[in-house]
Amino acid sequence: MSDTFKAILVSRDAEKKQSVDVVDLTEADLMEGDVTVAVEATTVNYKDGLAITGRAPVVRRWPLVPGIDFAGTVIDSSHPDWRKGDHVILNGWGVGETHYGAYAGRARVKGDWLVPLPEGMSAHDAMAVGTAGYTAMLSVMALERHGIVPDRGPVVVTGAAGGVGSVAISILSSLGYHVIASTGRNAESPYLIDLGAAEVISREELSQPAKPLAKERWAGGVDSVGSHTLANVLSMTSYGGAIAACGLAGGMDLPGSVAPFILRGVSLLGIDSVMAPKPVRLEAWRRIGTDLDLKKLSTLSRTIGFDGIIAAAHDIVEGKVRGRVVVDM
């Protein structure tokens, strides 16, 4: 095992100008934790793109190794749940934001942050799912808890060609839902239909200022866009329906009306993947193992090496990435 390993390090100077460098680190450079993991695969999420490009204040500790999730093998542990050789996954918990993250050959983290790699799933598979797919599953679970089952009617998925959207479509369609995919990239329609979408609509239908109430079109949905898109989705949700909100690719604002909530009994379900408690994480990954067709992972993902991370980070915030990006370390 090499004493040094490559890492991406984001830093700021006295004028708060951000720089991104590839550096060599040793385990002595890592932050505190009771488990050290050899990172075998990671991914490039939208949040990772924001961290590397500096387009949003994702990084809150300087300098920092970004990368919010990884899969790998435990190489050292003083935590009672983990032993050397265990295969693990990490999503969130501030990793890649306030704690050194995945874009390095090693990661030292708290054992309480880890979950086991599902049986039959490789590290590469797990990162083809990644935080985006795990968030999609949390969204599906929230809709189910609210009683949004396939018999209730269609469900909409916004930002459909992105990571969350791609996995959400695959999961929902495999569970028997009639999925309406909303995308700003019409050329991706065949891809979305191949994932399981029954209909594809243009993002333009949802991007203008929303009416307080519009024609009822779906019983529920998964929204990763926010802003006018989420306001429109809510205004078109049928009586007693629910929308799981898990992203802000279109903006952090919600320029809508209370009308869907007080006149149609619509519910807005907030999805937080970063600090979700461990039992919820374990159930989400168990469901991913049973409800996501792993054969579709090759369709909804592409693979790059460590040297491609920075370019992929810029591409994802510019809307040039379809589905998931897996990094084989």
Percent of the chain whose predicted confidence (pLDDT) is above 70: 99
> Average pLDDT for residues 144-167, to the nearest whole number?
97
Burial of 54 (0-12, 13-18, 19+ CB in 10 A): middle
pLDDT band at 294 (very low <50, low <70, confident <90, very high): confident
> Average pLDDT for residues 230-242, to the nearest whole number?
98
- Tell me the pLDDT tens digit for each residue of 53-105: 999 899 999 999 999 999 999 999 999 999 999 999 999 999 999 999 999 99
pLDDT band at 3 (very low <50, low <70, confident <90, very high): confident
State yes or no: cis peptide before 118, omega within 30 of 0.
Answer: no
Q: Give the pLDDT of residue 67.
A: 98
- Tell me the pLDDT tens digit for each residue of 26-58: 999 999 999 999 999 999 999 999 999 999 899
CA distance 71 to 114: 10
pLDDT band at 2 (very low <50, low <70, confident <90, very high): low
> Average pLDDT for residues 159-169, to the nearest whole number?
95
Tokens matching residue 146: 């609210």
Domains contained in the chain, CATH given:
4-117+294-328 (3.90.180.10), 132-270 (3.40.50.720)
* Under 8 Å between Cβ of 69 and 92: yes
pLDDT band at 295 (very low <50, low <70, confident <90, very high): confident
Q: Give the up-direction half-sphere exposure of residue 247: CA atoms within 13 A in the CB hemisphere.
A: 29
> What angle separates helix 46-53 from helix 309-317, to the nearest 10 degrees?
100
In three-state secondary structure terms, 77 is: strand
- Tell me the pLDDT tens digit for each residue of 172-222: 999 999 999 999 988 999 999 999 999 999 999 999 999 999 999 999 999
CA distance 72 to 272: 23
Using left for φ > 0, alpha for ψ between -120 and 50, and beta otherwise, residue 128 falls in alpha
pLDDT at 1 over 60: no
Q: Which amino acid is at 166?
A: S
**What stretch of H or E contains 126?**
helix 123-145
The owner of tokens 């918990």 is 93
The owner of tokens 């387009």 is 55
Q: Give the pLDDT of residue 246.
A: 97
**What stretch of H or E contains 5?**
strand 5-12
CA distance 301 to 172: 18
